[in-house]
Amino acid sequence: DTGVSQDPRHKITKRGQNVTFRCDPISEHNRLYWYRQTLGQGPEFLTYFQNEAQLEKSRLLSDRFSAERPKGSFSTLEIQRTEQGDSAMYLCASSFYITGELFFGEGSRLTVL
Amino acid sequence: AQTVTQSQPEMSVQEAETVTLSCTYDTSENNYYLFWYKQPPSRQMILVIRQEAYKQQNATENRFSVNFQKAAKSFSLKISDSQLGDTAMYFCAFSLSGGSNYKLTFGKGTLLTVNP
């Protein structure tokens, strides 16, 4: 297994457009997380899945954001009507329940013009 | 709510020397984990070392060790025999133990540069 993969690595879009990011976790990991990292800051928790169930969403996740994890495999994070403030690195991580250690992907960088 | 503070935005060290990165945290909980993550330029974040709060013994991983002071809520990372590949952003992070051990709270990070 090659680890957590994210696609695309970089997305440039115009304000008001919709964007979708995909995350493929490590295959045996049942937990999947999304974090957002802005310049000069540490990552901030957005949401968390255990298998296909979305168990928690941060207040940072406005109504324009939606995340899914169908069948408990890959996950998508969609941002509707993007704003310049959405520009950030979106990090996906996965873990196996017992160990709890998070394995991160390389991130998807969003630039909203 | 838990907070993590890293007071050193940037640090530099000469190759083969030792450097210590500082981290303090605030929590009212008694059972938790502390982590140091490394984020090399344009690469994914990887776990460097983890400390369980109930363990008094400081964690070590090869050249990396921590100084965990629970009463002072301090968790510093010492890197011995620094190597050029240690150049990265280092994040201190906190999570509760038990069922909520998924949500990491990160500090703002310390950019470490190892000079040849």
Radius of gyration of chain B (CA): 14
pLDDT band, very low/low/confident/very high, at B99 (cuts 50, 70, 90): low
Asked if B44 lies within 8 A of A106 by C-beta distance, the reply is yes
Quick: pLDDT tens for B1-19: 889 999 999 999 999 999 9
- Short-list B58, B56, B55, B59, CA closest to B47: B59
Of A33, A42, A105, the CB nearest to B91: A42
Helix (DSSP H) and strand (DSSP E) numbers for chain A = 0, 11
A7 interfaces chain B, CB cutoff of 8 Å? no
- Short-list B39, B47, B36, CA closest to B4: B36
Task: Report pLDDT for A99.
Answer: 63
Task: Report pLDDT for A98.
Answer: 61
Q: How many CA atoms lie within 13 A of A83 on its CB side?
A: 5
Asked if A101 lies within 8 A of B50 by C-beta distance, the reply is yes
Burial class (CB in 10 A: 0-12, 13-18, 19+), B67: middle
Low-confidence stretches of chain A (pLDDT beneath 70): 1, 97-100
Task: Report pLDDT for A111.
Answer: 97
Quick: pLDDT tens for B59-82: 999 999 999 999 999 999 999 999
